[in-house]
Amino acid sequence: MALDQSFVGRTYPPTSAYEVGREKIREFAEAVGDGNPAYTDREAAKALGHPDVIAPPTFVFAITFKAAGLVIEDPQLGLDYSRVVHGDQKFAYTRPVRAGDRLSVTSTIEAIRSMAGNDILDIRGEVRDESGEHVVTAWTKLVARAAEEA
């Protein structure tokens, strides 16, 4: 069943703050095998001009995708998550995420399309720090495959 077009443009309330931990960044960097010292060594990060260790570029997805749960699990929208695959992902950074950040995400439905029975949902997540400054925007395209193909 096609998703309701009237949800396009709908913005969900900002999430409560996610505090970025130094050890969580380390865990993520180790999980992707990335030894860049800017992720684990405060002095190395400072030498690059950062106030503390920074997170790898895709780290923030864990935060924005959790926030997108407000959209994905919105009973009024009625997305069948069991048939959803991740289509596209994009980030635009004002600055890197860093340890100590308290980040809040505001999710907006940018587009809903139906193509060959698949529902395509574009969600934009604006990530801001405690002072309200923009950190990064994440665009996530989800594709709910047509029921008959499931």
Partner 1 sequence: MAAKVAFEDVEVGTELPAQSFPVDRATLVRYAGASGDFNPIHWNEKFAVEVGLPDVIAHGMFTMAEAARVVTDWTGDPAAVVEYGVRFTKPVVVPNDGTGALIEVSGKVAALLDGNRVRVDLTATSAGQKVLGMSRAVVQLS
13 lies in the site for partner 1, by CB under 8 A:
no
Rule CB under 8 A: choose which of 16, 31, 76, 115 binds partner 1: 31
Contact of 119 with 143, CB cutoff 8 Å: yes
Q: Is 56 helix (H, G, I), strand (E, B) or coil?
A: coil
Q: HSE (CB half, 13 Å, CA atoms) of 104?
A: 12
**CB under 8 A: which stretch of 5-13, 54-62, 101-109, 116-124 binds partner 1?**
54-62
Helices marked H in the chain: 22-31, 42-47, 61-72
Alpha carbon 90 to chain centroid distance?
9
| 52, HSE (Cβ side, Cα atoms, 13 Å) | 12
Q: Does 115 bind partner 1 (CB under 8 A)?
A: no
Sequence letter at residue 150: A
Least separation, in Å, of the C-beta of 57 and partner 1? 5
Q: Which stretch binds partner 1 (CB under 8 A): 9-17, 26-34, 70-78, 117-125?
A: 26-34
Binding mask 60-99 for partner 1 (x = CB under 8 A): -xx--xx------------------xxxxxxxxx-xx---
Residues that bind partner 1 (CB under 8 A): 24, 27-28, 30-34, 36, 38-39, 47-50, 54, 56-58, 61-62, 65-66, 85-93, 95-96, 139, 150
